[in-house]
Every structure is written in C-alpha cells, then in structure tokens.
Amino acid sequence: MKVGLRFAVTSALLVAFTVGCTCMQKQWGWGALSGAGVGAIGGGIAAGAGANNSGAFDIGEDNEDKGVAIASGAVGGALVGAIIGHCLWDRQAVVAQAPPPPPPAPAPTPVVRKKIVLRGVNFDFDKAAIRADAAPILREAATILSENPSVQVSVEGHTDFVGSDGYNLKLSLQRASAVKGFLAKQGVAEGRLSTRGFGESQPVASNDTGDGRAQNRRVELKVGD
C-alpha cells in the first residue's frame, strides 16, 4: 500500500510535468534543464522539511514518509523550475537566434533618357540645296532616328545677314524643308519632323567675316522632349 501510494504520487507529478512540457512551446534547452535541477533540489528540501514538521505524508515509517515527500517535492520543483527556466532563458535564446529580417528591396533604378545628338549641316550662299558634304551627316541622323522611333525632331533653318529679313526668313524655311525631305527619303516618317525658319535672327558666329557667315547658313536638328 505504501509503495502504491508512493508510485501514484510520483506518477501523477510526472504526468503533470509531461503535460506541461507538451503545452509549452518547443525548443527546450539549457534554461529548462538548469531550472529543473534547481527546482528539484529546492522542492525536495522544502517538501522534506515540511513533511518532517507537519506529517503531511504520514503513510508509514518516518524515513518512508520523508522519502515520498522529498521525491514529490523534487518532481514538483523540477516541473516549476523547468517552466520558469524555459520562459526566462530558452525562449529569449530562440528569439536571439532568429535569422535577421531580409534586407529591404533596392530602390528602383531611375530611368535615364538616352541623349541623342544630331549634327546640323551648312549651305552655300543663297542656296537651299543639300551639299555633298552634308549628305553623310544627314544619313547618320536618319539612322539614329530609325533606332529611336519615338523621337520627334525640329528641323530649324537659318541664314546669314545678307539680304532682307523677309527674304532670309523664306530662305531659312526652304533650307529646313530640304533637310526634312532628305530625311524622309531615308525612311524617317515626316510626321516626326517639324520645320521652322528663323532667317538671320539667330547667328552662331559673326556676320562680319566670310567664315562667320558660312557658319550662319545652316540647318540645326533639335530633338524634341
């Protein structure tokens, strides 16, 4: 009877300990083991002392009573100590060992617009015909525009200061139209090409020299936004 009671008490405490382990989250470690050891020692001592003074485990001889009390206190103390140790240390260790969060996604790369440079061409005095040295430049411009089909181009004609304002304005527009026609023959859609004439109003060099006037007789190709 004494052995059965002792076994029942001990088994009940072990079952309680097992249930507690199952209900708690996993990842039991050194914190739980250390807590169980300290709790078992403390519980055994406390229970033994209590049985000796109170007779709560009066099921036989004194040594047997103390043995049951100490065993029961040790198991109960181990359960409580294991849970406390697990909560205080093991769970913190699990959190500390958790992998770092993934780095933030990189910012999207800004879209860089391709810079397109189209060289202009020059004209003979009082002429709007495309010169031989201008043809390769315009063919190169047509190739660039074919590779960039969304680009719009303003074809802008200019003159030197020789002649009246009205005459030069008309001549500058004729030069712009000649360049537009050349590009269109190279396969550039005319809808992408607009023409403007500025006459002598926008010189790029001095009109007091022959070389300066030759630079002012020009057509510029400007890429639109």
Residues composing the chain: 225
129-140 per-position pLDDT tens digit: 999 999 999 999
102-156 per-position pLDDT tens digit: 888 887 765 444 556 678 899 999 999 999 999 999 999 999 999 999 999 999 9
Q: For the residues 197-212, what does the mean pLDDT come to?
A: 96
What DSSP element (H or E) covers 219? strand 218-223
Query: Which of 13-22, 97-106, 171-180 has the lowest average pLDDT?
Result: 13-22
Q: In terms of Cα–Cα distance, which of 138, 223, 218 is closest to 182?
A: 138
pLDDT of residue 101: 81
- Is residue 192 over pLDDT 70? yes
Given the candidates 1.10.8.60, 3.40.50.450, 3.30.1330.60, 3.40.640.10, the CATH classification of the domain at 121-223 is: 3.30.1330.60
Q: Which residue has the tokens 């712009």?
A: 176
Which of 38-47, 65-74, 129-138 ranks highest by mean pLDDT? 129-138
Q: How far apart are the first and last CA of the chain?
A: 101
List, by residue range, all CATH 3.30.1330.60 domains of the chain: 121-223
Reported pTM: 0.52
